[in-house]
Copies of this chain bind each other. A is one copy, B any other.
Amino acid sequence: MTRQAQAADSAEGEWASLRARYRLVRAQSERLCQPLLVEDYGVQSMADVSPPKWHLAHVSWFFEAFLLRPYLAGYRVLDERYDHLFNSYYQTHGTPFPRAQRGLLSRPSVAEVYRYRAHVDQAMDRLLAQSPAEQAAEIARRVELGLQHEQQHQELLLMDIKHILAQNPLLPAYRSDLRAAVVRSAEPLRWHRYPGGIGHIGHGDAGFAFDCERPRHRVFVEDFQLASRPVSNAEYAAFIADGGYRRSDWWLADGWDLLQRAGWQAPLYWRQADGAWQEMTLGGLRELDPQAPVCHLSYYEAEAFAAWAEARLPSEAEWELAAQSEPMTGNFLEQDWLQPMAAAAQKSGPAQLFGDVWEWTGSAFRPYPGFRALEGSLGEYNGKFMCGQMVLRGGCCATPQAHIRGSYRNFFYPAMRWQFSGLRLARGA
């Protein structure tokens, strides 16, 4: 075979694999919504949450707006008005429907949203059926982005569904068939030491990564230590018992203000009943597992705990450098626990860097040196959020495994806690 033919062959192979992944990812989103009632699809329990139906439509809109409209000749939209309804925040693409009002849209119905998905899927089939042509590279790049985007929304779907159901005094379970976590005995917290110096973090040129993970660049860190596992529920309960939510000593000023205004007394989904802690989960209300990583903390709570524990949060550089020698395995969406779990018997390196809970870092979400946003409206993907938010690392029990990377930068405002967020302690050497 000539090199040219080989290249064509390999391109064709990649194309086929993209088509296959497209189908898998799209099916996964729908599978996640299987347990929902039609009624659950439309609720928006706070402005940050989107109705599940809206997620399903928006991720389809993403393919329509950035692939079908520009690249599929003769593409006909199902409903021109969806371009407004399902645009999340792309101001340069058009005026998005107001975020806080997504819960008011009883129409399009759930069935119509699925019809919209099918419509987009059929058109995407046509787009991907064509032999790779002139624009193939850009199309492939965007399909990849669209799939990663949909995987992000798969985690958002679970976060949002959990939040929606938790507002309801009936405390309905998302899935009553969800297995109970494996109970394990307490692992003592140990410290792993890392030498300082100049290292590299960020994602290199090859393979997919979001714009904010690039470019790979040099960083300098001093010697540091990282805890062998995330902070556990038992440890966090000790902080509460020691006045964690009653004394200002350990709190950032903004956090203390918020705690008082909002009446926080524990992590988001904890409830006290007869002196014992319970926790709302995707499987309904459960006894708190003392050895499982604490979850659904705001940044303020994470930093207050760290101050109480006389430690600190790792920087994202420290976290990433440490993670470079660890396998990207763990408790992810595919394991189908949908709840963080106590680590199994301790291994050589730090446990649970990946999966279970996102770990708040002490780093603000800012552009890496040399950062460049994508061209056009896609440039709004991450860059415009690089202010006021903190970085979290490692993925969680609701993150698709194929979606995570050591360089992955998740980010939330410090007040937010409906994501699966916990913390791991760090300290100087």
Please report A residues at the B interface, Cβ cutoff 8 Å.
37-43, 45, 53, 81, 84-85, 89, 91-92, 97, 101, 103-110, 164-165, 167-170, 172, 198, 217-222, 248-249, 251-256, 299-300, 303, 312, 362-364, 366-367, 369-370, 380, 384-388, 390, 414, 428
Contact = CB atoms under 8 A, between A and B. Distances in A.
Contact of A169 (B37, B40, B42, B97): B97
A122 to B, nearest CB: 22
Contact of A84 (B42, B169, B386): B169
19 contacts: A37-B106, A39-B109, A42-B42, A43-B106, A84-B169, A89-B253, A91-B256, A97-B169, A106-B168, A108-B170, A218-B220, A251-B384, A252-B384, A256-B384, A303-B387, A362-B366, A363-B366, A364-B364, A387-B414
A331 to B, nearest CB: 27
Nearest to A414: B387
B254 A388 contact: yes
Nearest to A312: B367
Contacts of A85: 169-170
* Residue picked from A41, A97, A369, most chain B C-beta under 10 Å: A369
Contacts of A363: 366
B37 A109 contact: yes
Nearest to A256: B91
A8 to B, nearest CB: 38
A368 B402 CA distance: 35
Contact of A366 (B97, B107, B364): B364
A222 to B, nearest CB: 5
Contacts of A221: 369
A384 B81 CA distance: 43
A221 B370 CA distance: 12
A230 B369 CA distance: 21
Going nearest first, the 10 A-B pairs with the smallest beta carbon separation are A364-B364, A220-B220, A91-B248, A39-B106, A40-B106, A253-B384, A38-B38, A104-B167, A252-B387, A107-B172
Given A248-B92, A384-B252, A168 B40 contact: no
A386 B104 CA distance: 31
Nearest to A217: B222
Given A92-B248, A169-B85, A369-B222, A104 B43 contact: yes
Nearest to A377: B249
A294 to B, nearest CB: 20
A60 to B, nearest CB: 17
Given A169-B85, A222-B218, A388-B388, A164 B104 contact: yes
A274 to B, nearest CB: 19
Contacts of A170: 81, 85, 105, 107-108
Nearest to A249: B92
Given A91-B248, A168-B105, A220-B219, A41 B43 contact: no
Nearest to A364: B364
Nearest to A386: B252
B110 A428 contact: no
Contacts of A43: 42, 103-104, 106
A423 B380 CA distance: 23
Contacts of A108: 170
B428 A369 contact: yes
B167 A110 contact: no
A38 to B, nearest CB: 4
Contacts of A42: 39, 42-43, 106
Given A92-B249, A428-B369, A103 B106 contact: no
A84 B109 CA distance: 29
A260 to B, nearest CB: 10
Contacts of A53: 39
Nearest to A371: B312
Given A45-B104, A220-B219, A39 B37 contact: no
Given A254-B388, A428-B370, A107 B222 contact: no
Contacts of A303: 387
A49 to B, nearest CB: 10
